[in-house]
Amino acid sequence: MHKLLKDSPGEKIMLLGNEAIARGAVEAGVAFATTYPGTPSSEISLNLFQMSKESDLYFEYSTNEKVALEVAAAAANSGLRTFCMMKHVGLNVAADPLMTLSYVGVTAGMVILTADDPAMFSSQNEQDNRYYAKFGGFPMLEPSSVAEAKEMIKEAFELSESLKQPVILRTTTRINHSNAFVAFGEMKERKTRGRFEKDPMRCVTVPAVSRGLHVKLLERLDSATGLAEKSDFNFVQGDGPLGIIANGVSFHYAEDAVKDLGIEDKTRILRLGFTNPMPAGLIKDFLKDCEKVLVVEEGEPFMEEAVKAFAQEAGITIPIQGKSADLFSRLYEYDPAMVREKIAAFFGFDYTPVNKIDTSDIPEIANRPPNLCSGCSHRATFYAVQKAAEGMDIICPNDIGCYTLGFMPPLSTGDFVICMGSSVSSSCGFGRATDQKVVSFIGDSTFFHSGITGLVNAVFNKHNFTLVILENGITAMTGHQPHPGVDMEQMGMPGYGRVDIEQLVRALGVEHVSVIKPFKVKKSMETIREALAFDGVSVIISKEPCILWAKSMKLKKVRPFEVTDKCTDHKECINGIACPSFYIEAGRVKIDANTCVGCALCAQICPDNAIRPLKQ
Amino acid sequence: MKTTRLIIVAVGGQGNLLASKVLGEAALIEGVEVRMSEIHGMAQRGGVVESAIVFGNATSSIISDGEADILLGFEPAETLRAIGRCSADTKVVTNTATLPPFTVGIGKGAYPEVEEIKRVLKEKTAGLVAIDAMALAKEAGSPMSVNIVLLGALIQTNALGFSKESVIEAIRRRTKPAFLDMNLKAFELGFEAAANSVV
Ligand code: SF4
Ligand code: SF4
């Protein structure tokens, strides 16, 4: 049985934040869950997916976050407890239904989780999604620890049900990817069959209806403010004239700092966990007893601005600060030492930072940049495209996935990446605006996510570019989740359909469609040249499973190659494809047999024919 | 209880996360509070994996620069790269078997001499244990047990104050039964090697 399905209240186990969140949802009786994978949220969905195979929980990987939210909205309006999770930028994709779902509301508890990524460990920006809660009018909860995250999601379901409004649970990477001991709680029974009661005056958002719904939303937010004022998630800790207001992981940094500085008797901390709507009364009360207040929050001055406004309303004129040039930054994440230092500086306490080591004389260490895996088929595709386009002036819009790494030399394939699906739509623009040839790349999962719409646009508006769809049969980047093009039977999971990308692309009306096997380099290059010569939209589908996935599923036999003494040492292989299995020893190119998977890409490009399967 | 902060650095695939989980389990057995945080953005594509483990009664789960009490490095160049997390009071335990980054493999970047790495670490911190964990892992039965060899070395230093028995019990609970004997051997080899290798 899945470890998170165990009905053993009181048992204490070590859980990853994301596992704790999944467990919390299950304890809350969640019956319906949807997502599109994205780090740092991916393990929540992975665990729910696994549990759905062993229970009556419904889980789906949807084609994108917008779809996931729309599917979830229907379930939550049919009376099922519903959970929809995504990474922060995913909420942008879902923003359209999000803003109206707050008007419509729900009939059963619905939690929308946004996993924000301060410092961008695996994201293209560090947007602060607390503004979505304010923007859309959603109550929002923010945990400070792994254990609290599990409890909070349960409360979030209750809160949502009582307000008939979805609740946003906002985490950050340091919650999602932290581990701590968590005690299991009681399991609430799951209600898995619902019923949708027609209610057009609530659910059909024509203008006449929505005008009324906006009024109701504001009323619900008023009730939510009342609940935030009394919520146990908003509490004051300690006593003294120096005030600190903190949320999320920053609360613990502040708590530790106060202890480390030995200023417990002078400091009171207001921890806000229910952060939208902000509890004005509670905050004003807190401010009244303070001489000076510091707001500690990663990201944007979300709380700081509200607190200053409340102070103004209450006629309180004490200094209140948070973000400023000499205090906290709006950039990246915080850490305990930095919070300690700022608290000491703001309140005027002595603080000697630890004696850091002088690193100025440390020998130089080469970087360890991430790289496409040994035998990754994307490498072969990029190589073939670059060779086929030799001498042409090309722009290569790329997309979000492992293949984003293609931007690094020597493949240098990736000139423009802004969000999922952007490669296709930006190609429309580049093709129209320039005289350059445009060759863009997108993965299969990303194509389903939001590449299709760009391609439809391209067909309709008669744009001019070549799109390469990298079909590796899985969502590789986030840890091998399925997508609509995956053969689920092969994974031993019947009960799914399958959408064939080639048929789909043809059906969209793309006139020039070809399929390549990227490890057949010469043949691929010929096909690519034809596609590049086509005037209009051409699509190349490059088909080869993700090697990491194929290896773990035992779909591929691994047979390493070696460099024989026919090699004349021109290093064409290394300079051309940069496979991480290569290394140089005593000036000679070698292949690491432990990591080489025998894709034979290098063997085909070696002009000396010096790379051969290793004799075993 | 006094707070002890441990940083573990490794290259993706070296089993850093399992090692952290074993230590977490050992903390549970010892009745010590523990919080861990991990960063593994693109680790499976050859990047660096770092875990921060905070034992005792602090409430944060990450460790600031200069504030690690112990640095455990699974790869010597990565240990050196993480030296900014140490102070002059930090104890360091490192593997000496190298895994040069690809950039070095193709001659585009320097890999410092292991002796030089050891010298710098020793000079700037409160004590260094350096062992060839790869050789010991192979001796135990598989290169995969490098992580457990290094746990053995860490426990030998007594920097965490955990008993050997607790950690062995944690290994029993946290590793696959098929690998248990190998891991127990790996742990012993690391434990013994560290006793003789304080430089
Ligand atoms: S995980 Fe798969 S798709 Fe991603 S880089 Fe590795 S082989 Fe390529
Ligand atoms: S065959 Fe060549 S390109 Fe393919 S994985 Fe091995 S070394 Fe790398």
Q: CB distance from A14 to chain B under 8 Å?
A: yes
Mean predicted confidence (pLDDT) in A516-521:
97
pLDDT of residue A94: 97
For residues A409-436, give the mean pLDDT.
94
Helices of type H across A389-466: 422-433, 444-446, 452-460
**C-alpha pair distances (Å), A307 with each of A235, A283, A286, A494:** 15, 7, 10, 54
**B126 C-beta neighbours (distance < 10 Å), count:** 15
CB of B86 closer than 8 Å to CB of B71: yes
Q: Which DSSP symbol is given to A62?
A: -
Cβ distance of B42 and A367 shorter than 8 Å:
no
| Any ligand 2 atom below 6 A from CB of A76 | no
Report the candidate in A195, A286, A177 with the shortest Cα–Cα distance to residue A240: A286
| Mean pLDDT score of chain A | 95
Nearest to A366 among B65, B103, B125 (CB): B103
| For residues A388-396, average pLDDT | 96
Q: Rounded to an integer, what distance in angstroms lies between the CA atom of residue B53 and that of residue A426? A: 43
Q: Does A371 touch chain B (CB under 8 A)?
A: yes
DSSP structure class, residue A196 = P
Q: Please give the full DSSP string across A248-278, using - where no structure is assigned.
A: HHHHHHHHHHHHHHT-GGGEEEEE-SEEES-
What's the mean pLDDT in B113-125? 95
The model's pLDDT over A471-486, given as tens digits with 9 standing for 90+, comes to 999 999 888 999 999 9
Look up residue A162 and give its two tokens.
Answer: 């009582």
CA distance A22 to A241: 40
Pick from B40, B50, B61, B99 the residue to mutate for testing the A interface (most A CBs within 10 Å): B61
Rounded to an integer, what distance in angstroms lies between the CA atom of residue A290 and that of residue A243? 6
Asked whether A417 and A400 are in contact (CB, 8 A), the reply is: yes
Nearest residue to A87 (alpha-carbon basis) of A36, A145, A49 = A36
Q: Distance (Å) from the C-alpha of residue B175 to the closest C-alpha of chain A? A: 14
The two three-digit tokens of residue A582, written as one number: 């290569």
Question: How are strands ordered across the β-sheet holding A242-246?
Answer: A235-238, A267-271, A242-246, A292-296, A320-321
The number of C-beta contacts closer than 8 angstroms across A and B is 167
pLDDT of residue A130: 98
Distance A406 CA to ligand 1 centre (A): 11
Token pair recorded at residue A580: 């991480």
The pLDDT of residue B44 is 59
Supply the pLDDT for residue B1.
Answer: 65
Q: Whose CA is nearest to atom 2 of ligand 1?
A: A546
Under the banding of pLDDT at 50, 70 and 90, the label for residue A441 is: very high
Q: How far is A525 from chain B (nearest CA, A)?
A: 26
Is B119 within 8 Å of chain A by CB? Answer: no
Residue written as token pair 């905070």:
B54
Are A574 and A582 within 8 A, CB to CB? yes
Under an 8 A CB cutoff, do B47 and A358 touch?
no
pLDDT digits (tens, 9 = 90+) for A174-217: 999 999 999 999 999 999 999 999 999 999 999 999 999 999 99
Contacts of B102 in chain A (CB under 8 A): 368, 371, 578, 580, 582-583
Calculate mean pLDDT across residues B22-41. 89
Instruction: State in Å: Cα A542 to ligand 2 middle.
Output: 18
Q: How many CB atoms lie within 10 A of CB A561?
A: 21
Q: How far is the CA of A477 from the centre of ligand 1 (A)?
A: 7
Name the residue among A177, A365, A582 with its Cβ closest to that of B77.
A365
Q: Which of B33, B37, B55 to mutate to test the interface with A (most CBs of A within 10 A)?
A: B37
Looking at this predicted complex, what is its ipTM? 0.91
The per-residue pLDDT for range A549-570, each reduced to its tens digit, is: 999 888 888 899 999 999 998 8
Collect all residues of chain B within an 8 Å Cβ-Cβ radius of residue A174: 37, 61-62
Residue minimizing CA distance to atom 6 of ligand 2:
A596
Contact between A438 and A427 under an 8 Å Cβ cutoff? The reply is: yes
Long-range Cβ pairs for the range A154-157 (8 Å, 24+): A154/A24, A154/A27, A154/A28, A154/A185, A155/A233, A156/A28, A156/A109, A156/A111, A157/A25, A157/A28, A157/A29, A157/A30, A157/A81, A157/A109, A157/A110, A157/A111
Give the DSSP letter of residue A299: S
Comparing CB atoms, the residue among A180, A366, A582 nearest residue B109 is: A366
Provide the pairing of β-strand A394-395 with A465-471.
unpaired
- What's A94-123 look like in SS3? CHHHHHHHHHHCCCCCEEEEEEECCCCCCC
Nearest CA to ligand 2 atom 4: A599
In the prediction, which pLDDT does B33 show? 92
Nearest CA in chain B to A258: B58
Distance of CA A599 from the midpoint of ligand 1 (Å): 13
CB-CB neighbors (< 8 A) of A39 in chain B: 41
Cβ of A14 within 8 Å of Cβ of B24? The answer is: yes
Pick from A122, A355, A362: CB nearest B88:
A355
Contact (CB, 8 A) for B117 and A363: yes
Of B20, B60, B86, the CB nearest to A253: B60
A42-52 vs A17-27: helix crossing angle, rounded to 10:
40
pLDDT at residue B110, as a whole number: 86
What is the pLDDT averaged over residues B21-44? 85
Compute, in angstroms, the gap from residue B39 CA to the centroid of ligand 2.
28
Q: Give B61's contacts in chain A (Cβ within 8 Å).
A: 145, 174, 178, 180, 249, 252
Kindly state whether B47 is in contact with chain A, defined as any CB-CB distance less than 8 angstroms.
yes
C-alpha distance from A39 to closest chain B C-alpha (Å): 8
Burial class (CB in 10 A: 0-12, 13-18, 19+), A205: middle
At residue B42, the pLDDT reads 59
Q: Report the 10 Å Cβ neighbour count for A556.
A: 16
Please give, one letter per residue, the 3-state secondary structure of A351-390: CCCCCECCCCCCCCCCCCCCCCCCCCHHHHHHHHHHHHCC
Q: Check CB contact of A365 with chain B, cutoff 8 Å.
A: yes
From ligand 2's centre to the CA of B45, what distance in Å? Answer: 15
What percent of chain A stands above pLDDT 90? 90
From A372, A373, A374, mutation site for ligand 2 pocket: most ligand atoms within 8 A of C-beta: A374
CA dihedral A103, A104, A107, A111 (to 10 degrees): -60
The rounded Cα B121 to chain-centroid distance in angstroms is 15
Q: What does the pLDDT look like over A29-80, one tens digit per residue?
A: 999 999 999 999 999 999 999 999 999 999 999 999 999 999 999 999 999 9
pLDDT-derived band of residue B108, with 50, 70 and 90 as boundaries?
Answer: confident
Contact A578/B at CB under 8 A: yes
Chain B closest CA to A419's CA: distance in Å? 18
Give tens-digit pLDDT for A324-369: 999 999 999 999 999 999 999 999 999 888 888 998 999 999 988 8
Distance from CA of B156 to the nearest CA of A (A): 24
Under the banding of pLDDT at 50, 70 and 90, the label for residue B41 is low
Q: Does pLDDT of B199 surpass 60?
A: no
Tally of residues, chain B: 199
Distance A604 CA to ligand 2 centre (A): 10
Peptide bond into A484 cis (omega under 30): no
Contact B87 A357 (CB under 8 A): yes
Binding-face residues of B in 73-102 toward A, CB within 8 A? 77-78, 80-81, 83-84, 86-88, 100-102
Ligand nearest to the CA of A579: 2
Asked if residues A252 and B59 have their Cβ atoms less than 8 Å apart, the reply is yes
A600 lines ligand 2 (CB under 6 A): yes
Provide the edge-to-edge strand list for the sheet that holds A140-141: A58-61, A32-35, A82-87, A110-116, A167-172, A140-141, A274-276
Tell the residue number behind the tokens 């490009």, with chain if given: A605
A30 CA distance to ligand 2 middle (Å): 46
Task: Please state, in angstroms and rounded to a whole number, the distance separating the CA atoms of residues A82 and A74.
Answer: 9
Q: B161 CB near a chain A CB, below 8 Å?
A: no
Reference A468, options A435, A501, A509; nearest CA is A501
